[in-house]
C-alpha cells in the first residue's frame, strides 16, 4: 500500500518536473477579436526557448482556419506592411514576443466566425537549428479577446 503511494508520488513528481522544463514555454497567448466577416485574424504569444539550442518555428496550422502564416509587421516609408516569414528563430535561453506591431500568427479564412471568449487551437512546428529533420509540434490554445 505505502509502496504504491510512494510510487504514485514519484511518478507525479517526475511529470511535474517535465512540464517545468518545457523546451518551448508558451505565455500570454491570445487572438485579437475581429469583425464577424473578417477573413484574417492575428494571434499573439510569448515563446521562451528553455534549451541551449536555437529553436526555429517553421509553420503553424489550425483546424479552425484554412491557412496560418507567420507574419511580421514592418513599417516602410511610414506605411505598415506585413511580411510573410518562412521561419522564426528563437535564440537559446531567450523569449520572442509575438505582439501587435511585430510578429504574429496570421489566421486566414476562418471555417466559422470567431468571437471573444472563443478559443483558437493552433499547432506550431519547430526544430532545433542543428537538426532540421527532427520536427517537433506544440499545441497553443489562444483565447480570443477584444483588443
Ligand atoms: Cu499578418
Whole-number Å distance, alpha carbon 41 to ligand 1 midpoint, is 8
**Which residues, in sequence order, are CB contacts of 75 under 8 Å at separation 6+?**
81
CA of 71 to the centre of ligand 1 (A): 5
CA of 50 to the centre of ligand 1 (A): 27
Q: How far, in whole angstroms, is CA 48 from its chain's centroid?
A: 10
The domain segmentation of the chain, as residue ranges, is 23-145
Q: What CATH number belongs to 23-145?
A: 2.60.40.1890
Residue 134: partners with Cβ closer than 8 Å, 6 or more residues away? 127, 128
Q: What angle do CA 32, 35, 41 make, to 5 degrees?
A: 40
pTM to 2 decimal places: 0.83
pLDDT for 131 equals 83
The tens digit of pLDDT for each residue in 88-99 reads 999 999 999 999
Provide mean pLDDT across the span 34-49.
96
Q: How confident is residue 22, by pLDDT bands cut at 50, 70 and 90?
A: confident
Amino acid at each position: 500500500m505505502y509502496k504504491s503511494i510512494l510510487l504514485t508520488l514519484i511518478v507525479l513528481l517526475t511529470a511535474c518536473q517535465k512540464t517545468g522544463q518545457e523546451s518551448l514555454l508558451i505565455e500570454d497567448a491570445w487572438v485579437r477579436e475581429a469583425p464577424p466577416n473578417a477573413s484574417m485574424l492575428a494571434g499573439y504569444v510569448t515563446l521562451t526557448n528553455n534549451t541551449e539550442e536555437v529553436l526555429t518555428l517553421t509553420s503553424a496550422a489550425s483546424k479552425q482556419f484554412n491557412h496560418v502564416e507567420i507574419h511580421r509587421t514592418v513599417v516602410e516609408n511610414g506605411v505598415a506592411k506585413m511580411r510573410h516569414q518562412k521561419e522564426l528563430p528563437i535564440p537559446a535561453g531567450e523569449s520572442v514576443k509575438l505582439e501587435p506591431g511585430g510578429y504574429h500568427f496570421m489566421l486566414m479564412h476562418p471555417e466559422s466566425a470567431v468571437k471573444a471568449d472563443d478559443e483558437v487551437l493552433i499547432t506550431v512546428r519547430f526544430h532545433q537549428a542543428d537538426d532540421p529533420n527532427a520536427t517537433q509540434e506544440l499545441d497553443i490554445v489562444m483565447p480570443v479577446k477584444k483588443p
